Structure 1
Amino acid sequence: MKKISVFIIALLISGVAFSQAKKEVVHIYNPQANAKADINAAVSKAAQENKHVLVQVGGNWCSWCIAFHNLVDSTATLKKYINDNFETVLVNYSPENKNEAVLADLGNPQRFGFPVFLVLDGKGKVLHIENSSYLETEEVAANGKKKVGHDVKKITSFLKGWTVTAVNPETYKAKAK
């Protein structure tokens, strides 16, 4: 009986060790980053390049944050649209660093959950805070269940509404004939 108990314990320990070794560590967000400095640098660059700043707040613990990041990274048209129209900043929110002072200055966007997106103008003013749940897909998988993830069309529509051109009142003035 003692040998069986030892064998079972050894099996459990090796199973736990194997599952931990197999788990990938994600390093999209940097808890040690200086979020304020990163945002200031992006704002400065955005002002020079006539862009806005897209801030994504989340953490390496957040599966939805990672999924969004991977979706953008693997969707060439979406990635290009973001790069052409926005400077981007990833702001960490985790037990190691919640960036509470920075987020307070930005209107406490964490109230919407994660990831949460902010659009800042070239002066650092918050133009919009977007709850990412509005960007989720409505697609249904072959098994009849709702797919999990974000919708590229919804993301693109959101972004198009917050480019420099989109928020410029001159864009909408009738041109004289």
Structure 2
Amino acid sequence: MSDYPPQDGRRHEPLPEPHPDWHVIESVPEYETGWFVAGYDRVEQPDGTEKRYYWAELPTAVVITAVTDDHVLFVEQYRPTIRHEQLELPAGVVEAGESATAAAERELEEETGFCADSLSVLEEVWVATGVLRHKRAYVFAEGLTPTQQDLDDSEFLTPRAVPADEALPTARSRPLNEATLQGLTLADEEGLL
């Protein structure tokens, strides 16, 4: 654990300096998997008391709302963590030195077999800030051209195209994850669906 924070590109950008009224006495990683790190910060609170704040740190991710011919591209995949199949927007990890749009372009092509002419960040958000150190960028992609799907060894998913005006109701009719809901909602609010 001497090389914390991890330098393998799996971590989001460095955390900002703590607020002066919230002095971090120590930051202790207790568990590292290569996919996430978990630990705690021992913090002096504004009233002078100390408390441990536990966290799990995940890599920065992108979620892509990709539209082609008035359809939104989804991927259908089984999620062992919840033991259920999900219809989700394509998504993935931002690698070291990669921008959100470059990661979105790579992940979109790998997962769906489509390349985008235009990608733009709709929003960047911190996720579940009570326990996670995880940043997510929502990217909109358009001008899609078919290429070839190139799945990772651990990806077992099928691309699905849903008419844009049915995308949100279709996603909400199944077990839904927050990343898909947020990505569709952001695109819809921008008038992109």
User: TM-score category by the smaller chain?
Assistant: under 0.3
TM-score, normalization by structure 2: 0.24
TM-score, normalization by structure 1: 0.25
More strand by share: 2
